[in-house]
Structure 1
Amino acid sequence: MPRLIVQTLRDPELALGLLILVALILIAVLGPLLWRVDPLAVSVLDSLAPPSLQHPMGTDDVGRDVFARFIWGAQVSMSVALTVTLVGTVIGGLLGLLAGLTGGWVDAVLSRIMDAVLAFPPLILAMAVAIGLGAGMVSAMIGVVLAAIPWYFRLLRGEVMRLRGLMYVESARALGATNMRLIRLHILPQTLSTVLVQASSVFSFSIITMAALGFVGLGIQPPVPEWGTMITEGLAYALTGQWWLGVFPGLGIFALAVAGNVIADRMRDLYDPRSGMRG
């Protein structure tokens, strides 16, 4: 963490990514306290009102405040992406640790399963799961998690296989250390930075994929505000001048995805032993 702080002070792109991420988190957390407008409140008389002081992001076709819905959408998108990232990290990481330490038929079976999952494009896999389980937040999250698990598996498996061949790990095993002790003392501490970088990338992937599922009607269902669904609702008015319906949620997705990717790239440069920025 101290190295990340130092790198942030030296790297304007990393600082900008963190600033965008913190700003969106503050909007999601403090927005409902500062902007006390019901995102589900309908006011037909105020429908399709352009951005103004009363409605900073305008209103939609039934008079709902777009800014209030944007705030709620930020909460939904980030909480779902964080949940998907954590669940994928735990499941994929544990399977990767198991395969890397055990080897043999366990490694072979798990690797073949992960290869089969990776054969499908991530978005197509998430859509197929959402269709099979029924459109909704839970099914969409399951689809995104399944698409992310093989990434963690391959990453952790490779790291564990590399680390278990090092001299100090072999020495600890020769002295009677159990697999759990090896993981706790010698393997996990060496892989945390790698997992953190991967988690940053998966967070951005989750944001974009959940928005894509919402855009095609397979994600979070109305009336719950979600940025992808809001863009879909705004498409009907894109050619009639009501640009704010789709632009603002689109900017939210873009900003959050860019922030996550920039942070992941810079953290990879920071923690990759082969990177010239390491230090």
Structure 2
Amino acid sequence: MRRLIAQLAHDWELLLGVVLFGLIVLLAVFGGWLWREDPLRVDILNSLLPPDLAHPMGTDDVGRDVLARFIRGAQVSMGVAISVTIAGTLIGGTLGLLAGLIGGWFDVVVSRIMDAILAFPPLILAMAVAIGLGQGIVSAGIGVILAAIPWYFRLLRSEVLRLRTLMYVESAQALGASSFRLIRLHILPQTTSTIFIQASSVFGFSILTLAALGFVGLGIQPPTPEWGTMITEGLAYALTGQWWLGFFPGLGIFILAVSANLIADRLRDIYDPKSGARLSI
């Protein structure tokens, strides 16, 4: 952590990513308290108003305040993305650790399942799961989690296979250390930074995928504000001058995705400077 804080002082890319990400987080956490407009309140008489002091991001086609909906959309998108990132880390990371340490038939079976999942493009897989389970936030989240799990699995499995060859791990195993003890004391502490880097990339992927699912009508359903859905609603007015309907949610998606990937790339360079591969989806 000290190394990361020190890096912020002279690494403008990492600093930019942290600042942009922090701004969206602050908006999601405190925005609803500072801006008390109801994101679901309909006011037909004030529909399609351009940005002004009363409505800094304008209003939509039924008079709902776009800023209030943007803030609620940030809360929804970030909440789902964080849940997806944590679930993917726990499931995929645990399977990867066990497969690399246990090996044998367990490694073969789980690896083949992950290869089968990876045969599908992540977005197409998430869309297929969302279609199969039905529209909604839960099915969208499950689809993104399923797409993210194999990347954690492959990353952690390869790390465990590398660490198993180190002398201190072999010595602990020869002295009778259990698999749980090996993971807890000798393997997991060495993979923490790798997991964190991948989690940053998966978070950005989750934001983009959830927005894409909402854009095509498979994600979070109206009237709940969600950035992808808001962009879809704004498309109907893209050619009639109401640019603010799609611009602001699109800007939010752009900032979150770029900041998450900036953080992931810079952390990779800090903790693994010899690696030329990008830890991302």
Aligned residue type for 1:268:
R
Q: How does 1:174-213 map to 2 (within 5 A)?
A: 174-213=174-213
- How far apart are 1:273 and its partner, in Å? 4.9
Q: Distance in 1 between matches of 2:56 and 2:212?
A: 25
Matched, 1:77 2:77: yes
In 1, Cα distance between equivalents of 2:110 and 2:9: 42
Match of 2:47 in 1: 47
Distance across 1 between alignment mates of 2:21 and 2:5: 15
- Whole-Å separation in 2 of the counterparts to 1:275 and 1:107: 25
Q: What do the CA deviations read for 1:235-269 (whole angstroms, capped 9, x no partner)?
A: 00000000000000000000000000000000000
Amino acid at match of 2:91: I
Counting only pairs closer than 5 Å after superposition, residues 107-118 of structure 1 correspond to structure 2 as 107-118=107-118
Question: Partner residue of 2:279?
Answer: none
C-alpha displacement of 1:176: 1.2
The alignment-based identity, stated in percent, is 75
- String of CA shifts for 1:172-212, please: whole Å, max 9, x gaps: 11111111110010000000000000000000000000000
**1:257 alignment counterpart:** 257
Gap regions ≥5 residues in structure 2 = 277-281
Describe the SS at the equivalent of 1:10: coil
Structure 1 residue 8, shift from structure 2 partner: 1.1
Cα deviations by residue, 1:61-87 (Å, 9 ceiling, x for unpaired): 000000000000000011110000000
Partner residue of 1:153? 153
TM-score (norm 1): 0.98
Q: What TM-score, normalized by structure 2, do the two folds share?
A: 0.97
The SS at the match of 1:125 is: helix
Any stretches of 5+ residues in structure 1 without a counterpart?
none
Cα pair distance change 1:137/1:150, threshold 3 Å? same
> Aligned partner of 1:234: which letter?
G
Supply the distance in 1 between the matched residues of 2:126 and 2:47 (Cα, whole angstroms): 34
Give the length in aligned residue pairs.
276
Q: Secondary structure at the match of 1:223?
A: coil
Aligned to 2:106: 106
| RMSD (Å), alpha carbons | 0.9
Could you tell me how far 1:7 is from its partner in structure 2? 1.0
